Structure 1
Amino acid sequence: MTPFYSWRGEDLLLDCHLQPGASRIGFAGLHGERLKIRISAPPVDGKANSMLLAFLAKSFGVSKREVVLVSGQTSRQKRVAISAPRQLPEELAIQRP
Protein backbone atom coordinates (compact mmCIF):
# COMPACT_ATOMS: atom_id res chain seq x y z
CA MET A 1 0.00 0.00 0.00
CA THR A 2 1.28 3.45 -0.86
CA PRO A 3 1.34 5.83 2.07
CA PHE A 4 -1.03 8.80 2.09
CA TYR A 5 1.95 11.14 2.30
CA SER A 6 5.21 11.91 0.53
CA TRP A 7 8.07 14.33 1.01
CA ARG A 8 9.27 16.88 -1.52
CA GLY A 9 12.42 18.20 0.09
CA GLU A 10 11.34 19.68 3.42
CA ASP A 11 7.69 19.89 2.36
CA LEU A 12 5.12 17.24 3.26
CA LEU A 13 2.41 16.32 0.73
CA LEU A 14 -0.77 14.76 2.11
CA ASP A 15 -3.42 12.96 0.07
CA CYS A 16 -6.65 13.51 1.99
CA HIS A 17 -10.28 12.47 1.87
CA LEU A 18 -12.34 15.22 3.48
CA GLN A 19 -15.58 14.59 5.37
CA PRO A 20 -17.23 18.02 5.70
CA GLY A 21 -20.17 18.62 8.03
CA ALA A 22 -18.89 16.07 10.57
CA SER A 23 -19.90 16.29 14.23
CA ARG A 24 -16.27 16.60 15.32
CA ILE A 25 -12.94 17.64 13.81
CA GLY A 26 -9.95 15.33 13.51
CA PHE A 27 -8.05 12.58 11.77
CA ALA A 28 -10.21 9.50 11.12
CA GLY A 29 -7.82 6.84 9.84
CA LEU A 30 -7.54 5.89 6.21
CA HIS A 31 -10.09 6.01 3.40
CA GLY A 32 -8.55 3.78 0.73
CA GLU A 33 -5.04 5.17 0.30
CA ARG A 34 -5.93 8.64 1.60
CA LEU A 35 -5.94 10.14 5.07
CA LYS A 36 -9.54 10.74 6.15
CA ILE A 37 -10.08 14.05 7.93
CA ARG A 38 -13.35 15.12 9.53
CA ILE A 39 -14.24 18.82 9.40
CA SER A 40 -17.36 20.36 10.95
CA ALA A 41 -17.67 23.19 8.41
CA PRO A 42 -20.10 22.69 5.51
CA PRO A 43 -18.76 22.31 1.96
CA VAL A 44 -19.99 25.73 0.81
CA ASP A 45 -18.12 28.94 -0.07
CA GLY A 46 -14.75 27.33 0.70
CA LYS A 47 -15.56 27.00 4.42
CA ALA A 48 -14.53 23.33 4.64
CA ASN A 49 -11.26 24.03 2.78
CA SER A 50 -10.45 26.94 5.11
CA MET A 51 -11.14 24.84 8.19
CA LEU A 52 -9.07 21.97 6.77
CA LEU A 53 -6.04 24.21 6.19
CA ALA A 54 -6.35 25.77 9.67
CA PHE A 55 -6.67 22.31 11.28
CA LEU A 56 -3.61 21.00 9.44
CA ALA A 57 -1.58 24.13 10.29
CA LYS A 58 -2.31 23.64 13.99
CA SER A 59 -1.69 19.87 13.84
CA PHE A 60 1.70 20.25 12.13
CA GLY A 61 2.85 23.33 14.06
CA VAL A 62 3.01 25.77 11.15
CA SER A 63 1.23 29.01 10.25
CA LYS A 64 -1.84 28.89 8.01
CA ARG A 65 0.09 30.44 5.11
CA GLU A 66 2.46 27.43 5.15
CA VAL A 67 -0.38 25.02 4.28
CA VAL A 68 -1.50 25.10 0.63
CA LEU A 69 -4.30 23.26 -1.14
CA VAL A 70 -2.52 21.83 -4.19
CA SER A 71 -5.51 20.09 -5.80
CA GLY A 72 -9.12 19.18 -5.11
CA GLN A 73 -10.59 22.64 -4.51
CA THR A 74 -14.18 21.38 -5.01
CA SER A 75 -13.63 17.66 -4.36
CA ARG A 76 -13.46 15.53 -1.23
CA GLN A 77 -10.18 14.12 -2.60
CA LYS A 78 -7.51 16.71 -1.88
CA ARG A 79 -3.74 17.09 -1.97
CA VAL A 80 -2.24 19.49 0.56
CA ALA A 81 1.35 20.73 0.86
CA ILE A 82 2.74 21.64 4.30
CA SER A 83 5.97 23.66 4.27
CA ALA A 84 8.58 22.25 6.67
CA PRO A 85 6.24 20.87 9.37
CA ARG A 86 7.59 21.55 12.87
CA GLN A 87 5.74 18.64 14.45
CA LEU A 88 4.22 15.38 13.17
CA PRO A 89 1.02 14.12 14.83
CA GLU A 90 1.87 10.80 16.54
CA GLU A 91 -1.36 9.10 15.46
CA LEU A 92 -0.38 9.47 11.78
CA ALA A 93 2.98 7.65 12.11
CA ILE A 94 4.59 9.84 9.44
CA GLN A 95 8.30 9.18 8.99
CA ARG A 96 10.74 11.87 7.96
CA PRO A 97 12.99 10.95 5.02
Structure 2
Amino acid sequence: MWYEEAETFVDLHVNARPASGRNEIVGIFDDTLKIKVKAPAVEGAANKELVKFLSKTLKIPKSEILFVSGETSKRKRIRLPKNEKVMRLIGEMEA
Protein backbone atom coordinates (compact mmCIF):
# COMPACT_ATOMS: atom_id res chain seq x y z
CA MET A 1 0.00 0.00 0.00
CA TRP A 2 1.37 3.40 -0.95
CA TYR A 3 -0.05 5.18 2.09
CA GLU A 4 -0.82 4.51 5.76
CA GLU A 5 -3.63 6.40 7.42
CA ALA A 6 -3.78 7.20 11.14
CA GLU A 7 -6.17 9.36 13.12
CA THR A 8 -4.31 12.67 12.70
CA PHE A 9 -1.76 12.00 9.95
CA VAL A 10 -1.10 10.12 6.73
CA ASP A 11 2.23 8.56 5.73
CA LEU A 12 2.88 8.50 2.00
CA HIS A 13 5.38 6.10 0.44
CA VAL A 14 6.95 8.26 -2.24
CA ASN A 15 9.30 7.49 -5.11
CA ALA A 16 10.92 10.87 -5.82
CA ARG A 17 12.43 11.49 -9.24
CA PRO A 18 14.83 14.44 -9.07
CA ALA A 19 16.10 16.53 -11.99
CA SER A 20 12.83 16.21 -13.91
CA GLY A 21 11.45 18.80 -16.29
CA ARG A 22 8.79 19.94 -13.84
CA ASN A 23 7.21 19.21 -10.48
CA GLU A 24 4.30 16.80 -10.80
CA ILE A 25 2.56 13.85 -9.22
CA VAL A 26 2.80 11.08 -11.80
CA GLY A 27 0.78 8.26 -10.21
CA ILE A 28 1.06 5.00 -8.31
CA PHE A 29 3.87 2.62 -9.30
CA ASP A 30 5.16 -0.37 -7.30
CA ASP A 31 3.15 0.64 -4.20
CA THR A 32 4.65 4.13 -4.11
CA LEU A 33 3.42 7.54 -5.17
CA LYS A 34 5.77 8.67 -7.94
CA ILE A 35 6.54 12.40 -7.81
CA LYS A 36 8.85 14.25 -10.18
CA VAL A 37 10.75 17.29 -8.91
CA LYS A 38 12.79 19.81 -10.90
CA ALA A 39 15.67 20.13 -8.45
CA PRO A 40 18.67 17.81 -8.65
CA ALA A 41 19.53 15.38 -5.85
CA VAL A 42 22.41 17.53 -4.62
CA GLU A 43 22.79 18.72 -1.01
CA GLY A 44 19.11 18.16 -0.21
CA ALA A 45 17.81 20.38 -3.01
CA ALA A 46 15.38 17.72 -4.31
CA ASN A 47 13.96 17.15 -0.82
CA LYS A 48 13.45 20.89 -0.33
CA GLU A 49 11.71 21.11 -3.70
CA LEU A 50 9.56 18.08 -2.84
CA VAL A 51 8.47 19.64 0.46
CA LYS A 52 7.77 22.97 -1.25
CA PHE A 53 5.73 21.24 -3.98
CA LEU A 54 3.69 19.15 -1.51
CA SER A 55 3.14 22.20 0.69
CA LYS A 56 1.79 24.25 -2.19
CA THR A 57 -0.24 21.43 -3.76
CA LEU A 58 -1.84 20.17 -0.54
CA LYS A 59 -2.04 23.52 1.32
CA ILE A 60 0.10 22.28 4.23
CA PRO A 61 2.74 24.36 6.01
CA LYS A 62 6.24 23.13 5.12
CA SER A 63 6.99 22.70 8.83
CA GLU A 64 4.27 20.01 9.06
CA ILE A 65 5.75 17.81 6.31
CA LEU A 66 8.13 15.30 7.90
CA PHE A 67 10.47 12.68 6.49
CA VAL A 68 9.89 9.48 8.48
CA SER A 69 12.50 7.57 6.46
CA GLY A 70 14.44 7.64 3.22
CA GLU A 71 15.63 11.22 3.34
CA THR A 72 18.73 10.27 1.31
CA SER A 73 16.95 7.70 -0.88
CA LYS A 74 14.59 7.94 -3.84
CA ARG A 75 12.06 5.91 -1.83
CA LYS A 76 10.79 8.01 1.05
CA ARG A 77 8.14 7.84 3.72
CA ILE A 78 6.63 11.27 4.27
CA ARG A 79 4.22 12.17 7.08
CA LEU A 80 1.53 14.73 6.37
CA PRO A 81 -1.25 16.03 8.60
CA LYS A 82 -4.56 14.47 7.66
CA ASN A 83 -6.67 17.09 5.91
CA GLU A 84 -9.23 17.37 3.13
CA LYS A 85 -6.66 17.96 0.36
CA VAL A 86 -4.54 14.96 1.39
CA MET A 87 -7.59 12.70 1.53
CA ARG A 88 -8.75 14.02 -1.87
CA LEU A 89 -5.33 13.19 -3.35
CA ILE A 90 -5.58 9.65 -1.98
CA GLY A 91 -9.08 9.31 -3.43
CA GLU A 92 -7.96 10.57 -6.85
CA MET A 93 -4.99 8.21 -6.93
CA GLU A 94 -7.16 5.25 -5.91
CA ALA A 95 -9.72 5.93 -8.67
| TM interval, short-chain normalised | 0.7 to 0.9
Greater CA drift, 45-54 or 86-95: 86-95
Question: Residue 17 of structure 1: which of 15, 39, 47 is its match?
Answer: 15
CA RMSD of aligned residues (A): 2.0
Unpaired segments ≥5 residues, structure 2? none
Give the counterpart letter for 2:35 in structure 1: I
| Seq. identity, % | 29
Task: Measure the CA separation in 2 of the matches of 1:42 and 1:89.
Answer: 29
- 8 Å CA contact 1:59–1:88 kept in 2: the answer is no
User: Does the residue aligned with 2:53 lie in a helix, a strand or coil?
Assistant: helix
TM-score by length of 2: 0.86
Aligned partner of residue 12 in structure 1, secondary structure: strand
Deviations 1:31-85 (A, max 9, x none): 2110000000000100000111111112221100010111111100000001233
Q: How many residues align?
A: 93
Equivalent-residue separation in structure 2 for 1:76 and 1:90 (angstroms):
24
- Corresponding residue for residue 50 of structure 1: 48
Structure 1: unaligned runs, 5 residues or longer: none
Taking structure 1 as reference, are residues 34 and 54 closer, same or farther at Cα in structure 2, changes over 3 Å only?
Answer: same
Deviation at 1:91, TM superposition (A): 5.5
| Alpha-carbon distance in structure 1 between the residues aligned to 2:92 and 2:47 | 22
Report which of the two has the higher share of helix: 2
Aligned to 1:79: 77
